[in-house]
Structure 1
């Protein structure tokens, strides 16, 4: 009796397994875009603004809020290509 129940449920379980594997493969293909600039605490009250593609320090600020604002400013400049002209 138990084998009969298992045989009846097996095809549905295999379909669920195949669907779960396909969903997993789709999630693996998503790429997460890294931010162009990152703020990193270096010491107490001192923050570097780093370009994530090259790991170069582009500037520093004394407060976290100012460093975040500078990173946003750099992102806007890069998006609008303002920095390329001079």
Structure 2
């Protein structure tokens, strides 16, 4: 699978990336997000970035969003605008 191979490529470079597949579609996208956030490794992360399969962020996306979270501790979520 192309996505799995790409995730493995990034992981081999030391990037903390996970590839998950569910065997059911309960709750559809919301169910997938809910299940993903239950994973034990999520608790080890300071931040979690979730992207749709059809979304390709700008290369500096995390460089722009993470500092905003770090400097505003009352904020728990950033949703960024994207373009086609």
Indicate the TM-score class for this superposition, using the shorter chain for normalisation. under 0.3
TM-score, normalized by length of structure 2?
0.25
Superposition TM-score, scaled by structure 1 size: 0.25
Looking at secondary structure, tell me which structure has more helix per residue. Answer: 1
* Bigger Cα Rg: 1
Higher relative contact order (CA 8 A, sep 6+): 1
Greater share of residues in strand: 1
